[in-house]
Chains A and B, each alone.
Chain A
Amino acid sequence: MNNFSYLQATQPKEATGAVRDNKQAAFIAGGTTLLDLMKLNVENHDQLVDINMLAFKGIEQTGDGLRIGALERMSDVGENPLVMQQYPMISQSLLQAASPQLRNMASIGGNLLQRTRCGYFRDTAFPCNKRQPGSGCPAQEGENRGLAILGGSKSCIATFPGDLAVALVALDAVLLLENAKGKQRRVPLVDFHLVPGNTPQRETVLEPGELIVSVTVPAAAHTRKSMYLKVRERTSYAYALASAAVGLDVQGGQIRSARVALGGVGTKPWRSREAEKVLTGAPATEATFRAAAAAALREAQPREHNRFKVELAQSTLVRALTELTAA
């Protein structure tokens, strides 16, 4: 870990300007990923810009949905009554993530930017195209049990590790971003994360110095009837082997609208329009769910040790849909 300077920003421009002007600078909110990676020398910054003083707060119902400030903590959002009642999938994804201590520190914006747990990425003794472009990807033929089966490339199969982003991407969340000029733009979360392709070092569409201000989620019938199901090796404090975020609007046994995203299997939070297409307009039956799950995994490209995820992700999705419609 190298020495760094520390700036506590009180205005957005102060923060975004500092990071835009210094390629080695980084924002820090909860720091739960950043400090970890700095200690491992995976990230090296000479300046940390603390954004915790910025007013990116609030968990509120707006005219057409939910707005969450980027600096709200995971635990506060997960346990917020509005979120629990109207957007259960979001609350569940948060409360099944990390540990209570981490959730108390970690911010919503930071969580969406959480970096992969790929062991090759996290150890500088290994080659890694994400960490050191062009150095190679030993995960392809190596210990890839936890790695992605969807959205991978020859240069990278690192799994996006988060839970919240999976729920949000299912529910058509939109991010409000602000750059160093003070200019704001809205980016749908589904377009925010990038698949690795040949540039696995580029993980999002954020410009240098650009900050996440807030997340908005449009309210709909399928947000209230939603759930997040996470399958993991232990009951708490574990990343998903596979997870499913599902929201349904079912009337008279027919699915009117469906939202589906998968976690633990994709190089980014994996919205499955293929599954949604199968579900929409179909009867809410196990056969439909199975067909949807098969569609969601049709493009899967497993490696030696993560082949099980193809079946597990389908089972997870079927289970989530089954439980949601049974409730």
Chain B
Amino acid sequence: METEPSFFETSPTPNVVGKPLNRVDGRDKVMGRAKYSAEYPIPGLTYGVLKTSDIAKGKIQNIDTSAAAKAPGVLAIYTHLNIPKLAVTPNDAEGKKAIGAPMGFMPLTSDVIHYAGQPVAVVVADTFERATHAADLVRVTYLTEQPIAAYTDPKAKIFDPQKIQDGKTDGKTRRGDARAALASAPVQLTGVFTHAINHHNPMEPGATTAVWEAPDRLTVYESTQGVTRTQKALSTMLGLPQDQVRVITKYLGGGFGCKGSCWPHTVLTVLAAKGVGRPVKLSLTRKQQFTSMGHREDQTQTLTLGATKEGKLTALIHEKTSTTSPWDNYAESNSKIINMLYDCPNFEASYQLARGNVMTSTFTRAPGEAPGSFALESLMDDLAYKLNIDPIQIRLLNHADKDPTNGQPWSSKSLKECYARGAELFGWSKRNPKAGATRNGRLLVGMGMATASYPVHNSQGMARVRLYADGHAVVQSGATDLGTGTYTVMTQVAADSLGLPPEKIRFELGDTKLPTAPNSGGSVAAGTVSSSVYMAAQDVWERLTKLAIKDKKSPLFGAKAEEVAIENGRLQLKKNKAKGEDYMALMKRAGLDDIEGSGNGKYGAGYETGQSASPADSGYKEPPAAHSMHSFGAHFCEVQVDPDLGTVRVTRWVSVHGAGRILNAKTARSQIIGGSIFGIGAALMEATHRDNQFARYVNADLADYHIPVNADIPDMTVEFIDERDPYINAMGVKGIGEISMVGVSAAVGNAIFHATGKRVRDLPMTPDKILATKPV
């Protein structure tokens, strides 16, 4: 392992890191000063509106644009016949690979319709309303074919993919001999679990403002979780050098994975702007959002476990079948968490897919781990009841002391502490172990829990620090802030790394002109960017130290670099702290108004091995490290179920996580709360319904696609276990964006089981399913 300084060494008692600092961007947001990607008042701006397909499969027979073209204010109408051509499209394997961002199909490249809601035209007008009206006037006729709506369609062809999730995960995994182990296991349990289609539905829809600064130079204000990934995808498709495309995302109104790729509407906006020769802004409608940026796929999981009479797991066999698009092999990799969460010597997993005429599914918060943990943690609960063992006990009995997938030690793991602290905060000991035995008047009360885990993926990024001699600093990294607090936590890290108060730091992000950072996805952003910022500050100190020891007027003149330490902005000898000076004095003497440093922060296996990962492809290929790196946690849930009406209310919630260093107690708590609510939504109400005959959604709006309202959510208790992990990155940070949701739906389901004795295996667990399920 390369010896790089770590935050643990230079800031053993941090000033502001970890503190519940208020959001530095909070005031701008509530005052309406924070500009989102569709809010830039660019001179000459025009408005693009998509016309989308009414059918899910077939061909465009004719597009009549005559009425639309005559409508007032219309500047252009682009269809597959006249839109400017792309240099590269993702429609073939080579193009797809070159583009990099997960993108498998580009509309308006032919007359073929693959899914309902596929763009068939882009209308550009001088106002949004005129463009919207003109889009309605475009008349499209189709040669309609019968679509396949889902893997459940009897006509769907189920196949075994070699790889899923864009080639990241094998279609089949084996460890040991699960079939043989199962056959000889005295306890055998099987559960079949289904998951409804879920949509991310960030508050801010997908939005693009495209400005061609010159015929070969483009600026895009984009609602994306990764400016670099978008830059790379766009420049490849347009045939431009990467530096000729600038992508800016200063604020993001949520993403949850749907803004982790480059999607067709962005490319269409760029092409329309090229065509009309003016800036074009395009914002998806809420309805279009449901067919434009992916979703969590409809899926069935069958999980079988074998165990000893004492409850020790001996075999796990997982099978998943799900719907994918005509061009992709996307499936969430549910089996990963099932493979690693418990000590089980035999494991087998396989994926099956069917092509439906649907937009492709994509990363959705905790992709794989969230639905995978629902199956595993529900079945573990069944095992606990079957053997009359406490649900926490059965998990402790199967606790994985090392990573069962490769036998490696964990870089850090506080799961036992999470169970213990969670149980204490929740009052688990007061729980009557018998299901269906606790009442509050008419209502049945249930308490359930589940384990959470999420990997520390491999990633890296860059940051730049410019320290001014007057005691201010500008810190930059091309990261994005989904609204979860990147601006704030990086300000804190920079403050402690530079020995400055946070109000003297300005942190800038969300621009490809800044040092490259990874996508904010897969929970890599906080750890990668904070490490980059920290390393950049170290670079500044190294430069200043070099300056000091060569400066005859410095008290440090003649010292060796390794003899000098930095404390609160002062350079001094480690052995004689009195001998040293303030950096401002040093810079003034040297005639420096400012000094810059840059840092390359590595995250995950790449940090431990010293190898690097391509920032835009974070998490793609993990080099072997000596440790397995995961965060762990536990959720505890109390529900009250109305046995006559089938309604479920979550009445208490406790989440305890061990996720490395927590950078900001307040934003971290908010993130766990947000992820838990996301999970409660998936557990109890979220479902997009696709008509089987038309392969088209029937509830594509926020009135009929239910997410929790405030009244559905109780006060939530969140705590973190202190963890000091030296193997994962210079800051010791594990991400918390995804783990907040993992295990949540199982915790809710387990509480429902405890309340009612009913095991509901179909998400969401709506009143009709609660009523229809028979108690065991």
> Assuming the A-B contacts A41-B136, A123-B698, A233-B684, are A319 and B644 also in contact, with contact meaning beta carbons closer than 8 angstroms in the complex?
yes
Which chain B residues in 673-706 approach chain A with CB under 8 Å?
Answer: 684-685, 689-694, 696-701, 703-704, 706
Q: How far is the CA of A40 from the CA of B286 in the complex (A)?
A: 11
CB–CB B767/A312 < 8 A: yes
- B706 contact from A124, A234, A308, A318, Cβ within 8 A: A234
State whether A234 touches B768 (Cβ < 8 A).
no
Interface residues of A in 117-144 (CB under 8 A from B): 117, 119-120, 122-126, 138, 141-143
- Choose, from B301-309, B426-434, B645-653, B735-743, the stretch at the interface: B645-653
- By the criterion CB–CB under 8 Å, are A236 and B693 in contact? no
Contacts A235-B649, A319-B645 hold; do A1 and B768 have CB atoms under 8 A apart? Answer: no
B656 at the interface (CB under 8 A from A): no
> For A231, what are the chain B residues with a Cβ–Cβ distance below 8 Å?
645, 647, 767
Q: Contact string, A2-20, partner B, CB cutoff 8 A, digits 1/0?
A: 1100000000000000000
Q: How far is the CA of A236 from the CA of B709 in the complex (A)?
A: 7
Task: Answer whether residue B712 sits at the interface, using C-beta atoms and an 8 A cutoff.
Answer: yes
Query: Within the assembled complex, what's the spacing in Å between the Cα atoms of A252 and B125?
Result: 72
A241 CB contacts on chain B under 8 angstroms: 767-768
Q: Which of A3, A40, A120, A316 sits near B645, CB closer than 8 Å? A: A316
Q: Quick check: is A315 within 8 A (CB to CB) of the other chain?
A: yes
Contact B767 A237 (CB under 8 A): no
Q: Are B767 and A233 in contact (CB under 8 A)?
A: yes
Q: Which residues from B are CB-within-8-Å of A143? A: 689-691, 698-699
> DSSP majority for the B interface?
loop
A168 to B693, CA, bound (A): 38
Provide the residues of chain B in CB contact with A238, threshold 8 Å: 706
Instruction: Indicate if the CB atoms of A235 and B712 lie closer than 8 Å.
Output: yes
Bound form: Cα–Cα A3–B73 in Å? 13
Complex formed: what's the CA distance from A219 to B710 in Å?
36
A57 within 8 A of B: no
* Residue A145 lies at the interface, judged by CB distance under 8 Å to chain B: yes
- B766 at interface, CB cutoff 8 A: yes
Q: Which residues of A contact B685 (CB under 8 A)?
A: 233-234
Give chain B residues whose Cβ lies under 8 Å from the Cβ of A124: 54
Q: Tell whether, in the assembled complex, residue A237 and residue B703 are in contact, meaning their CB atoms are under 8 Å apart.
A: yes
Q: Does A207 contact B (CB under 8 A)?
A: no
What string of 1s and 0s marks CB contacts (under 8 Å) between A175-215 and chain B? 00000000000000000000000000000000000000000
Q: Does B578 contact A (CB under 8 A)?
A: no
| Interface residue B214 (Cβ < 8 Å from any Cβ of A) | no
Tell me whether A123 and B696 are in contact in the complex, defined as CB-CB below 8 angstroms, given that A1-B132, A41-B136, A315-B645 are known contacts.
yes
Q: Are A119 and B767 within 8 A (Cβ)?
A: no
> What is the distance, in angstroms, from B760's C-beta to the closest C-beta of chain A?
13
Interface residues on A, range: 35 or more
Question: Within 8 Å of chain A (Cβ to Cβ): is B1?
Answer: no
Judged by a CB distance under 8 angstroms, whether B133 is at the interface is yes
Q: Does B517 contact A (CB under 8 A)?
A: no
Distance in angstroms from B700 CB to nearest chain A CB is: 8
Q: Is B116 in the interface zone, CB < 8 Å from A?
A: yes
Please tell me if the beta carbons of A142 and B693 are within 8 angstroms of each other in the complex. yes
A90 to B136, CA, bound (A): 40
Q: Are A142 and B698 in contact (CB under 8 A)?
A: yes
Query: Taking A119-B704, A234-B712, A237-B709 as contacts, is the C-beta distance between A142 and B692 under 8 angstroms?
Result: yes
Chain A contacts of B771 at CB under 8 A? Answer: 308, 311-312, 315
- Annotate B112-137 by CB proximity to A: 1 below 8 A, 0 otherwise: 00001000000000000100110010
Contacts of B54 in A (CB 8 A): 124-125
A2 touches B136 (CB 8 A): yes
B630-641 toward A: CB 8 Å interface, digit per residue (1/0)?
000000000000
CB distance from B693 to the nearest CB of A (A): 6
CB-contact partner of B699 in A119, A126, A309, A315, under 8 A: A119
- Interface residue B711 (Cβ < 8 Å from any Cβ of A): yes
Decide yes or no whether B772 CB sits under 8 A from chain A: yes
Say which residue of B129, B693, B706, B711 sits within 8 Å of A233 (CB atoms): B706
Contact B694 A126 (CB under 8 A): yes
Residues of A within 8 A of B646 (CB): 312
Of the candidates A40, A41, A142, A235, the one whose C-beta lies within 8 Å of that of B709 is: A235
Pick the residue among A2, A233, A234, A319 that contacts B133 (CB under 8 A): A2
Q: Does A119 contact B132, Cβ atoms closer than 8 Å? A: no
For residues 270 through 327 of chain A, which have their beta carbon under 8 Å from a beta carbon of chain B? 308-309, 311-312, 315-316, 318-319
B708 interface contact, C-beta 8 A: yes
B768 touching A125, Cβ below 8 Å? no
- Which residues of B lie under 8 Å from residue A239 when comparing CB positions? 703-704
Closest B residue to A316 by beta carbon equals B645
**In the complex the two chains form, is B768's CB within 8 Å of A312's CB?**
yes
Query: A309 CA to B646 CA in the complex, in Å?
Result: 11
Instruction: Kindly list chain A residues whose C-beta atoms are within 8 Å of the C-beta of B701.
Output: 122
Residues of B within 8 A of A309 (CB): 768
Chain B, Cβ-Cβ closest to A119 = B698
Least Cβ–Cβ distance between B214 and chain A, in angstroms: 36
Minimum CB–CB distance from A116 to chain B (whole Å) comes to: 11
Q: 22 A-B pairs, CB-CB below 8 angstroms? A: A1-B129, A40-B287, A119-B689, A119-B704, A122-B701, A125-B116, A125-B696, A126-B698, A142-B698, A143-B691, A231-B647, A236-B709, A236-B710, A236-B712, A237-B709, A239-B704, A308-B767, A308-B768, A308-B771, A312-B768, A315-B644, A315-B645
Supplied contacts A143-B690, A235-B711, A312-B645, 11 more A-B pairs, CB within 8 Å: A126-B691, A138-B694, A142-B693, A142-B694, A233-B706, A233-B767, A241-B768, A312-B767, A315-B645, A315-B771, A316-B645
Interface on B for A, CB 8 Å cutoff?
54-55, 116, 129, 132-133, 136, 287, 644-647, 649, 684-685, 689-694, 696-701, 703-704, 706, 708-712, 764, 766-768, 771-772
Which residues of A are at the interface with B, using a C-beta cutoff of 8 A? Answer: 1-3, 40-41, 117, 119-120, 122-126, 138, 141-143, 145-146, 231, 233-239, 241, 308-309, 311-312, 315-316, 318-319
